[in-house]
């Protein structure tokens, strides 16, 4: 082998090191981009689930308020001390809502009225798992006119 042929072989192998370095760097950047994208997608999904949990808890408050205000008892009473609703329709399907209610009677313009405190706890999924969400909403109102 002549001296010029040996020099060409050494020069040709020199480009391999920067090419490998470039491939490793581009691969690492691609991996980082995938992880960031996945994290953002999970954040958006959890934000949506939290909004649904809030809507489910509000539905529990409205359900108990409706039953309390349409009660034929005098004074109006809570529908139950504690009730669990399992929602099955639309965007709230799969949510479980624990609704608790307490009523206090008071005199109002010669009659008797009630003051209600309702708490609704909406949950979805299993505690400790990635898709678990929980929202608690408390509402109070009175049957007095």
The pLDDT tens digits for 14-47 are: 778 888 888 888 888 888 888 887 778 888 888 9
Closest by CA position to 55, among listed 101, 118, 117, 122: 122
- Which domain, by its residues, includes 27? 3-142
pLDDT of residue 78 exceeding 60: yes
pLDDT of residue 103 exceeding 70: yes
Distances (CA, A) of 19 to 11, 13, 31, 85, 119: 14, 10, 18, 62, 63
pLDDT of residue 124: 95
Residue 94 CA to residue 87 CA, distance in Å, equals 6
Residue 126 CA to residue 11 CA, distance in Å, equals 61
Q: How many separate domains does the chain show?
A: 1
pTM of the model: 0.70
pLDDT of residue 54: 96
pLDDT one-digit tens code per residue, 48-70:
999 999 999 999 999 998 888 78
């Amino acid at each position: 082998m002549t001296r010029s042929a040996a020099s060409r072989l050494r020069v040709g192998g020199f480009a391999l090191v920067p090419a490998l370095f470039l491939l490793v760097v581009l691969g690492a950047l691609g991996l980082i981009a995938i992880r960031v994208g996945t994290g953002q997608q999970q954040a958006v999904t959890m934000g949506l689930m939290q909004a649904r949990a809030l809507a489910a808890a509000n539905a529990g408050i409205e359900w108990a308020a409706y039953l309390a205000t349409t009660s034929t008892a005098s004074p109006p009473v809570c529908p139950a001390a504690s009730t669990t609703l399992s929602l099955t329709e639309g965007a709230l399907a799969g949510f479980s809502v624990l609704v608790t209610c307490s009523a206090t009677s008071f005199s109002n313009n010669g009659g008797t009225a009630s003051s209600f405190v309702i708490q609704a706890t909406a949950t979805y999924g299993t505690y400790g798992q990635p898709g678990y969400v929980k929202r608690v909403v408390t509402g109070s109102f009175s049957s007095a006119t």
